[in-house]
Amino acid sequence: MNHERFDIVVVGSGIAGLTYALSVAEGNPSLRIALATKKESRESNTNYAQGGIAAALSKVDSFESHVADTLGAGAGLCDESQVREIVRRGPTAVRRLAERGVRFTRRDGEFDLVMEGGHSARRVAHTFDHTGQEIERALVANIAATPAISTFENDIVVDLRVDRSGPAPQVCGAVVFDARRGEFVRFDARIVMLATGGVGQVYRHTTNPLIATGDGVAIAFRAGASVANMEFVQFHPTAFYETDAAGDAGALVSAGRTLLISEAVRGEGARLVNLAGHAFMPDYDPRGALAPRDIVARAIGSELTRRDETHVLLDLSPIPVEVIRERFPNILRACLERGVDITRDPIPVAPSAHYLCGGVRASIEGVTDIAGLLVAGEVAHTGMHGANRLASNSLLEAVVMAEAAAGWTLANIGSFANSPSRADRGAGPGLSEAPGTAGGSVDISLGVERARLKELMSRHVGIVRSAAGLAIVRAALNDMVARVGGAVSPNQPDPYASIELRNMTQVAGLIIDMATDRTESRGLHHRSDFPTLNDRRWRRDSVIFPQL
């Protein structure tokens, strides 16, 4: 197996991975940094983030108000100390992005701040309706101009390499599959940063790109890191509901991701109405369409069930046409491509899997259970989001964590040394050392199995769950794992697809098991058989420790 040696390997090229790599390189240009990304460097959840980044940047706003809104959305599970620290660092992090070339929309020289659901003030900094794309553009340009960083595109991590010979496990690199060359490569490193994003692709309809298959959570868990709160999967209330020529929503599946309609549209005054034209959100919450996302998504789901319909409508008629054209040019263009003129017509929308509030347990600095293994962004669980993420707090947490992790790295990397000769590949079946198959027959269609998993998760582990439905999908998942197997071999017809499916089944199992155990309804986790909050038993994180 070919191998490369670096000081640091960064996995993922969204806001967290890019910010971390840049900050470390700026702090110590002599360090050699590898940036490994599954597709092109711009393909990430960050790139599709329309709304913006929340921070108390206004003179009429405050840290206390932002903290209170975050805690309120989190339904009792936020770690208040973590929330306070991330919110406190937010304004500096946003200004740092601007210094790196992110062109935030401004008015009279100040950040143009907008309102989003769950916020009590206009505090979301944005670049019109394509903030994530603009952040990616600026950070990728900075990466390209930084000699210390080597970018490896189309590389997917198989497993971490972990040295278990000492008193505590220590990461010392990773094994990756180079999809362009069709070969496995060993990356040796003193520190590995996982910034791989979320798990949206385990669901049939998701706003996430095709690469969001839960890789970071899966490989960290296999290596021995604990995970928390995987049952809290946020469904964005307003994703474009698109059908194919036959009227089937399968077009959403073939496209890989659905078009997200930013929360900021509702912040400007758009209403949610059912197909009879009734604005139903005030029936569910006095905040109407600007209630937190879990409430809005469940309200839409309730309307769809009650009326036996497939979607509701987002009515933009309260917003002046000139504001629509100025504020939402990308949404206007994308909807026109789908046959909807949002200056005249309502947008058909339905909830779609969007964001994972749980993940690998970590401090704000990204420090995990495994020495030298850091995480940042959506793959991480710091306690910031609790049981439901407040809108636009995702980019905030990602950039604050990345900056903090970079500071930790610069202060501590001297205590880490490469020890590749003593490394294993983490827990569980990993890279096959000999020619063979992936745990059985290579005739199994990985695409069919992937689609089956997505359908099962959407049907039984979506906005509303029950013990019966969770048991059905757990049994099906066990059967799938038994048939497909866990090993990865160079002789697989499609190693890339095999690696992704392995990770998807791993994270799906974690979601199912935590959703089964939490016998209450809280935030994003709603059990039809346990519809009430149970603070006495469940006002705590769900945590799973790997069995190594």
Q: What is the 3-state secondary structure of 337-359?
A: HCCCCCCCCCEEEEEEEEEECCE
pLDDT at 1 over 60: yes
Tell me the CA distances in angstroms from 502 to 42, 157, 178, 333, one per residue in order. Answer: 24, 12, 17, 37
193 touches 11 (CB < 8 A): yes
Cα distance between residue 547 and residue 509, in whole Å: 14
Is 293 labeled as catalytic in the residue annotation? yes
Mean pLDDT of 502-507: 95
* pTM, entire model: 0.89
N-terminal to C-terminal alpha carbon distance within the chain: 25
Domain residue ranges of the chain, discontinuous segments joined by +: 2-232+357-421, 238-353, 436-535
| pLDDT range class, residue 523, cuts 50, 70, 90 | very high
CB-CB neighbours of 446 under 10 Å: 19
- CATH number for the region 436-535 comes to 1.20.58.100
Cα distance between residue 376 and residue 504, in whole Å: 19
Question: Which of the pair, 429 or 456, is modelled with greater confidence?
Answer: 456
Main-chain dihedrals φ then ψ at residue 54, nearest 5 degrees: -85, 135
Question: How much is the mean pLDDT over the chain?
Answer: 89
| pLDDT range class, residue 46, cuts 50, 70, 90 | low
Mean pLDDT of 250-265: 67
Q: Which string of b and e fits 518-527 if b means at least 16 CB within 10 Å? A: bebbbbbbbb
Q: Which two tokens stand for residue 122?
A: 């206009």
Mean pLDDT of 505-510: 96
Cα distance between residue 349 and residue 238, in whole Å: 5
Q: Which fold has domain 2-232+357-421?
A: FAD/NAD(P)-binding domain (3.50.50)
Q: How many helices (DSSP H) and strands (DSSP E) are in the chain? A: 16, 25
pLDDT at 246 over 60: no
Q: State the amino acid at position 238 in one-letter form.
A: T
What local confidence, expressed as pLDDT, does residue 486 receive? Answer: 63
| pLDDT range class, residue 490, cuts 50, 70, 90 | low
What local confidence, expressed as pLDDT, does residue 255 receive? Answer: 46
Cα distance between residue 409 and residue 227, in whole Å: 22
Mean pLDDT of 497-515: 95
Q: Which fold has domain 238-353?
A: Flavocytochrome C3; Chain A, domain 1 (3.90.700)
The catalytically annotated residue of 42, 123, 293, 522 is 293
pLDDT at 270 over 60: yes
Mean pLDDT of 411-426: 69
pLDDT at 368 over 70: yes
Residue 433: is it exposed, middle or buried by C-beta count within 10 angstroms (0-12/13-18/19+)? exposed
Contacts for 500 with CB less than 8 Å, ≥ 6 apart: 156, 213, 215, 450
Least confidently predicted of 11-15, 46-50, 93-97, 285-289: 46-50
477 touches 456 (CB < 8 A): yes
Cα distance between residue 50 and residue 278, in whole Å: 27
Contacts for 101 with CB less than 8 Å, ≥ 6 apart: 138, 141, 142
Cα distance between residue 467 and residue 71, in whole Å: 28
